[in-house]
């Protein structure tokens, strides 16, 4: 059976994005690439971690992760992922607005699901064919999945920064018991992998 994974880059004080996320500041005010610097500056050092993020058989993401900000959602906008997104597989985007699937190069197809998280998970499970399903963000979608007990393995990539404001991972999730599976890191990030205990 598919395992459900989730990778999130987080500040030490629990923020995964700043306030006012928008197209020209996708991670919001004052965040820039500080949470993801390790990916861009040390790709070799984090090769396995980075590859694992896009190793799933299917993905579920929130509408803001496909295209941030209120103004960005129209029929001409096909997301900020470029011509060849890193997923190379089916991505199910949670939204209230129906639209045709967006097919990209390299096997990534964004399919828009308007009947809720459970429906998206079912479609992802079917599409994954026994491979893992990854919850691809953003925070609201991940928190909804955590609260619903849908995530098996949570991989938190802690950037060495305290942000003080923004969008929090775990907001409204309630209490969770975790089991540490692995820990590693460099000067730019600490990778913490947990099993979510039911």
Within 26-45, the residues that bind a second copy by CB under 8 A are: 30
Nearest to 140 by CA among 170, 165, 160: 170
180 contacts a second copy (rule: CB under 8 A): yes
Look at the chain and count its residues.
Answer: 198
Contact residue for a second copy among 48, 118, 126, 179 (CB under 8 A): 179
192 contacts a second copy (rule: CB under 8 A): yes
Residue 30 or 86: the one with the smaller Cβ distance to a second copy is 30
What distance lies between CA 16 and its chain's CA centroid?
A: 10
CB-neighbour burial class of residue 77 (10 A; exposed 0-12, middle 13-18, buried 19+): middle
Taking a C-beta distance cutoff of 8 angstroms, is the pair 14, 170 a contact?
yes
Within 110-169, the residues that bind a second copy by CB under 8 A are: 146, 156, 158, 160-164, 168-169
Rounded to whole angstroms, the Cα distance separating 81 from 74 reads: 15
CB of 177 to a second copy, least distance (A): 6
CB of 70 to a second copy, least distance (A): 26
Residue 72 or 161: the one with the smaller Cβ distance to a second copy is 161
14 contacts a second copy (rule: CB under 8 A): yes
Nearest to 107 by CA among 126, 85, 129: 85
Q: By the criterion CB under 8 A, which residues form the site for a second copy?
A: 12-14, 30, 146, 156, 158, 160-164, 168-170, 172-180, 183-187, 190, 192, 194
């Amino acid at each position: 059976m598919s395992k459900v994974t989730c990778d999130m880059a987080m500040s030490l004080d629990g923020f995964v994005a700043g306030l006012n996320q928008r197209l020209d500041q996708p991670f919001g005010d004052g965040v820039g690439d500080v949470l993801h610097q390790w990916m861009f500056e040390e790709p070799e050092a984090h090769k396995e971690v980075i590859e694992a993020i896009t190793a799933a058989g299917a993905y579920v993401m929130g509408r803001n992760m496909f295209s941030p900000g209120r103004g960005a959602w129209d029929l001409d906008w096909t997301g900020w992922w470029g011509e060849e997104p890193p997923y190379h597989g089916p991505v199910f985007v949670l939204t209230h607005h129906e639209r045709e699937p967006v097919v990209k190069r390299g096997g990534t197809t964004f399919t828009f699901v308007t009947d809720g998280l459970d429906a998206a998970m079912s479609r992802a499970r079917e599409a994954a064919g026994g491979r893992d399903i990854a919850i691809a963000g953003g925070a609201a979608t991940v928190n909804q999945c955590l609260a619903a007990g849908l995530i098996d393995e949570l991989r938190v990539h802690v950037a060495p920064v305290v942000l003080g404001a923004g969008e929090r991972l775990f907001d409204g999730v309630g209490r969770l018991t975790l089991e540490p599976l692995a820990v590693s890191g460099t000067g730019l990030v600490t990778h913490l992998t947990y099993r979510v205990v039911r």
